[in-house]
Chains A and B, each alone.
Chain A
Amino acid sequence: MLAPKSLQLGAQAIKGLSRVSHFSKFVAPATIPCVQDGELYSTTATSSADGGNEEKEKISVTFVDKDGEETQIKVPIGMSMLEAAHQNDIELEGACEGSLACSTCHVIVMDVEHYNKLEEPTDEENDMLDLAFGLTETSRLGCQVIAKPELDGLRLALPAATRNFAVDGFKPKPH
């Protein structure tokens, strides 16, 4: 946990690489349509002549995985956190691929202020959250959290993380 950020990120990148090479079939773009959409989007963004605009179109989101490791990614405005996680090899499940029929993309919004900036969950999302493992007051489904400018700096914990943290004696930071 005390390793310099750069080292952590390095390890993350290597982990990510090995995962891709061994499990390329799990993340084959052809089988996850949302990834394709995302690629289309980013292609447009990079081809834009104005580099400043490109930055404005993305927000920074940090995922805290089940081992407590943090991964910061850039998420284009309009993209769901489930799609963004999958594009960046973050291990967020998405059993129903964003069709609001499961609770596997459950994320915990770590900052109440960010949570309050989200639209209220629909009845359908609440029905699924009822069944989410380790539900908290600021739980949401990753497929329903859509990137928008106000959410820049969003921090999302994967629920297994809270379980392991508890074992390690970790106490979440008070908000």
Chain B
Amino acid sequence: MAVFRAMFSRTFSAATSPSLRVCVVGSGPAGFYTAEKMLKAHEEAEVDVIDRLPTPFGLVRSGVAPDHPETKIVINQFSRVAHNERCSFFGNVSLGSSVSLSELRQIYHVVVLAYGAESDRVLGIPGEDLSGVHSAREFVWWYNGHPDLSQLAPDLKNTDTAIVLGQGNVALDVARILLRPPSELATTDIASHALAALKESSIRKVYLVGRRGPVQAACTAKELREILAIKDLYVNIKQDDLQITSADEEEMKNSRIRRRVYDLLSKASSSGQTHPSSGQPELHFTFFRKPDKFLESSDKSGHVAGVKFEKTTLKASAGSGNQIAAGTGQYEDLKCGLVLKSIGYKSIPVDGLPFDHSKGVVPNIRGRVVSSYDVGQPVDGLYVCGWLKRGPTGIIATNLYDADETVASISEDIKKKDPASEFASGREGLLQLLENRKINVVTFSDWEKIDFEEKRLGSLIGKPREKLTNWKDLLAK
């Protein structure tokens, strides 16, 4: 009630009452950039950012690796947006359970969905549900203290080998966290349960496996340079895998990133030792392997003991200039006790939202949600931004341009039809509804109390922050 009253009086004490009520669902980079651009473009707009978690900033908090503090500095900018007097953050408000999409659309003139991709693509091969097989997202949420996965407890003690499927930046992140000396992670904001588990970890060998070759590896140079620089690391890249075809050369000519990544891999392959010394951490880049099935342990029923791979070769794909991996019918097994699948995230639809299940995105034209691509008729007042709009790729900055595009579409639509002519209860309406449903709303100032407490706890042990990692603690503030 206190929240409701405070918000109510604040809104009405403003000189002019807002005529454009906007709700942004999701408080990650896509959500906050959208809010920032809406506030800048529309002085009459009041923007409420809701999130299902009690904490804001989405993947900046639960996705960006703990040893990348510079990447998280963008939180300062998002916090300034949240402090704008026309902007509010309401955490612990879940689209679908706290409030439905149709309710939000009644309450607000404009609803922008920016809730990202909180699920995983699956391989659909036998053994995928064996214990010891996790998605990289689960592992990342675990070490970043996401309250939904702080109990994951991956077994890092009964094996010395982990296989990471995929060679993108998330794959490199999880491999780096497994291989870096835990003492170096102790001064980051890594979750304490993860740090404790990593200190006890017996994993010292990580395979990064890709279906295609070094020219097609999806990582970027920064992350690659970083993992190659891990102290005392033995790096194995087979010389044969580095041979390139004219099609590879063509791909590199068109992409500066691919060229630079390939150069780094080549250099790493030719420098360094030929054999690991005993006990040394090892990183193996394994190319041209497609997972065929997960192998079950014979002495530990239900647990993974390895992956069977089919060797691949590159083939030209019809349409795009890129090459695809084709199976050769030759197989190879790799033993391991832990598998992290880093093959892509997937968005989850909510009731009443058009959804393209094959692409895993909401059908949209420049951010305007359409019932389907064939019809192309925009759904009034409903927009998307970020991964839900374009799929789970890109960097934080990609959302800048993405938000620009969505906000430009909103502005065009407002010009055509002034939404202020229709009543929308906006912030008061939402808070009243949540109050009636006894939802414990977490405001931005509540979050600042969590933030303060986390920093205080961290300062006691030389960490920038000690994250609160379970719902109870987060909602106790």
Q: Which residues does A use to contact B, with CB under 8 Å?
A: 19, 22-23, 25-26, 28, 31, 93, 95-97, 99-104, 123-124, 126-128, 130-133, 135, 160
Contact = CB atoms under 8 A, between A and B. Distances in A.
B396 A128 contact: no
Given A93-B397, A97-B76, A102-B395, A130 B221 contact: yes
B225 interface: yes
B84 A126 contact: no
B401 interface: yes
B439 to A, nearest CB: 28
Contacts, number: 73
Contacts of A97: 73, 76
11 contacts: A25-B85, A95-B74, A96-B71, A96-B73, A101-B68, A102-B396, A126-B260, A128-B222, A130-B220, A135-B256, A160-B404
Given A25-B83, A102-B397, A123 B225 contact: yes
Contacts of B74: 95-96, 102
Given A131-B397, A133-B401, A160-B404, 19 more contacts: A22-B43, A25-B80, A25-B83, A95-B73, A95-B74, A95-B77, A95-B396, A96-B73, A100-B70, A101-B68, A102-B396, A123-B225, A126-B260, A127-B221, A130-B222, A130-B256, A130-B257, A133-B398, A160-B401
Contact of A124 (B81, B222, B260, B396): B222
A123 B223 CA distance: 12
A128 B257 CA distance: 10
Interface in B69-100: 70-71, 73-74, 76-77, 80-81, 83-85
B437 interface: no
A104 B29 CA distance: 13
Given A126-B221, A135-B256, A99 B70 contact: yes
Contacts of B85: 25
The B interface is mostly helix, strand or loop, or mixed, namely helix
Contacts of B73: 95-97, 99, 101
A166 to B, nearest CB: 14
Given A127-B222, A131-B257, A23 B40 contact: yes
Contacts of B400: 93, 104, 133
Contact of A103 (B80, B83, B397): B397
Interface string B388-417: 000000011110110010000000000000
A160 B76 CA distance: 23
- Chain A interface secondary structure, helix, strand, loop or mixed? loop
Contacts of A25: 80, 83-85
A156 B80 CA distance: 27
Contact of B220 (A22, A28, A131): A131
Nearest to A66: B404
Chain B interface size, as a band, is 20 to 34
A19 B179 CA distance: 47
A95 B396 CA distance: 9
A111 B35 CA distance: 35
10 nearest CB pairs, A to B: A101-B70, A127-B222, A99-B70, A95-B74, A127-B221, A130-B257, A96-B73, A101-B71, A104-B397, A97-B73
Nearest to A99: B70
A26 B80 contact: yes
Contacts of A95: 73-74, 77, 396-397
Contacts of B222: 124, 127-128, 130
Contacts of A131: 220, 257, 395, 397
Interface string B363-404: 000000000000000000000000000000001111011001
A109 B40 CA distance: 27
Contacts of A130: 220-222, 256-257, 260
Given A23-B40, A25-B84, A135-B256, A127 B71 contact: no
B122 to A, nearest CB: 28
A22 B41 CA distance: 11
Contacts of B221: 123, 126-127, 130
Nearest to A135: B256
Contacts of B84: 23, 25-26
B84 to A, nearest CB: 6
A90 B71 CA distance: 22
